[in-house]
């Protein structure tokens, strides 16, 4: 069984179709995360949803330029999001902490070491780090492609046993996910790039990343010896499968790697 995890949750899992935070699903995810912690698993949560939460708080905004708008929505929304996580984790007797990062923090060794030390100290104190991109200052070259990239970097920095990426689909399909004859691909060999031909162009509504970027991050991370589990964050008790030894999604790994889930 995995002893350490990074779990990344996308905006489409955290918000409803109207863009408002899906408190019911967030609460269900926190319940599952608390269950994994009780089972002794060390974990870091990478959570999107700040911009969505900001949209919910401020409502329709006058358009004052895309960058400034994203900054305002994320600045306001991150507070709303963390307040919700604080309350939900407290319900399980757990503390959570906010960690915001930009791409620059991974480029230079000093910043990366500082961040690694902070993660280690938080985990030692049994606090759940909740990581997001620092959208307020991450503009142009400081921006990650999306939070999938950020989650992959955190997983590699912490050398965790697995990275879990939850979105609103079960995983990678061999055709359009909504088509009746498409089948879920249960295992992908990170050494076989031909699998990229299965990626559908269409991206789900609110998040920044799509399946292409998820698979790219998954292949890179798996090639660094960290298996990646793509799954549906709206599936009941999806995370509890991690302790059951089955995964109802796509697992990306090096095929010669020993199986441990
Ligand atoms: N950092 C963004 C947010 O919290 C999400 C980025 C993404 O969709 O990957 O809203």
The domains located in the chain, with CATH, are 4-253 (3.40.1160.10)
Cβ partners under 8 Å of residue 80, min gap 6: 21, 53, 54, 56, 57
38-58, pLDDT tens digit by residue?
999 999 999 999 999 999 999
Mutation test residue for ligand 1: of 45, 147, 151, 216, the one with most atoms within 8 Å of CB? 147
Per-residue pLDDT at 205: 56
Pocket lining: 11 vs ligand 1, CB cutoff 6 Å: yes
Per-residue pLDDT at 155: 98
Pocket lining: 48 vs ligand 1, CB cutoff 6 Å: yes
pLDDT grade for 223, boundaries at 50, 70 and 90:
very high
Q: How far is the CA of 147 from the centre of ligand 1 (A)?
A: 6
Pocket lining: 54 vs ligand 1, CB cutoff 6 Å: no
pLDDT at 34 over 70: yes
Pocket lining: 133 vs ligand 1, CB cutoff 6 Å: yes
pLDDT at 206 over 90: no
Per-residue pLDDT at 148: 96
Pocket lining: 208 vs ligand 1, CB cutoff 6 Å: yes
97-124, pLDDT tens digit by residue?
999 999 999 988 888 999 999 999 999 9
Pocket lining: 22 vs ligand 1, CB cutoff 6 Å: no
Nearest residue to 239 (alpha-carbon basis) of 178, 170, 182, 164: 164
Per-residue pLDDT at 108: 86
Q: What is the DSSP string of the chain?
A: --SEEEEEE-HHHHB-TTSSB-HHHHHHHHHHHHHHHHTT-EEEEEE--HHHHHHHHH-S-----HHHHHHHHHHHHHHHHHHHHHHHHHTTT--EEEEEE-THHHHSHHHHHHHHHHHHHHHHTT-EEEEEE-TTT--GGG--SSHHHHHHHHHHHHT-SEEEEEESS-S-BSS-TTSTT--B--EEETT-GGGGGG--S---SS-S--HHHHHHHHHHHHHTT--EEEEETTSTTGGGGGGTT--SSEEEE-TTSPP--
Q: How far is the CA of 70 from the centre of ligand 1 (A)?
A: 10
pLDDT grade for 141, boundaries at 50, 70 and 90:
confident
Mean pLDDT check: name the lowest of 41-55, 78-92, 192-206.
192-206
pLDDT grade for 201, boundaries at 50, 70 and 90:
low
pLDDT grade for 208, boundaries at 50, 70 and 90:
low
Pocket lining: 138 vs ligand 1, CB cutoff 6 Å: no
Pocket lining: 209 vs ligand 1, CB cutoff 6 Å: yes
Pocket lining: 49 vs ligand 1, CB cutoff 6 Å: yes
Per-residue pLDDT at 85: 98
pLDDT at 37 over 60: yes
pLDDT at 32 over 90: yes
pTM comes to: 0.93
Pocket lining: 152 vs ligand 1, CB cutoff 6 Å: no
Average the pLDDT over 164-174 and give the result: 94
Which numbered atom of ligand 1 lies nearest the CA of 147? 9
Mutation test residue for ligand 1: of 49, 54, 166, the one with most atoms within 8 Å of CB? 49
Average the pLDDT over 21-30 and give the result: 97
Which numbered atom of ligand 1 lies nearest the CA of 78? 4
Per-residue pLDDT at 216: 93
Q: How far is the CA of 209 from the centre of ligand 1 (A)?
A: 8
Instruction: Answer with the residue of higher pLDDT: 158 or 174.
Output: 158
């Amino acid at each position: 069984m995995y002893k350490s995890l990074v779990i990344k949750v996308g905006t489409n899992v955290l918000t409803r179709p109207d863009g408002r935070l899906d408190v019911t699903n967030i609460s269900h995810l926190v319940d599952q995360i608390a269950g994994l912690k009780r089972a002794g698993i060390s974990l870091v949560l990478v959570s999107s949803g700040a911009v969505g939460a900001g949209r919910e708080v401020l409502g329709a905004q006058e358009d004052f330029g895309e960058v400034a708008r994203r900054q305002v929505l994320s600045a306001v929304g991150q507070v709303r999001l963390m307040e919700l996580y604080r309350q939900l984790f407290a319900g399980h007797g757990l503390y959570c902490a906010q960690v915001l990062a930009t791409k620059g923090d991974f480029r230079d060794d000093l910043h990366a070491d500082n961040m690694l030390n902070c993660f280690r100290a938080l985990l030692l104190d049994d606090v759940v780090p909740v990581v997001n991109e620092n959208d307020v200052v991450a503009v142009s070259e400081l921006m990650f492609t999306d939070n999938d990239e950020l989650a992959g970097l955190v997983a590699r920095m912490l050398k965790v046993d697995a990275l879990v990426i939850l979105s609103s689909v079960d995983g990678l399909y061999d055709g359009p996910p909504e088509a009746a004859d498409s089948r879920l691909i249960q295992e992908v060999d990170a050494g076989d790039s031909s699998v990229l031909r299965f990626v559908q162009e269409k991206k789900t509504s609110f998040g920044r990343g799509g399946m292409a970027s998820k698979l790219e991050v998954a292949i890179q991370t798996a090639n660094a010896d960290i298996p990646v589990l793509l799954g549906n964050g709206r599936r009941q008790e999806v995370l509890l499968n991690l302790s059951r030894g089955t995964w109802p999604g796509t697992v990306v790994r090096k095929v010669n790697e020993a199986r441990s889930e």
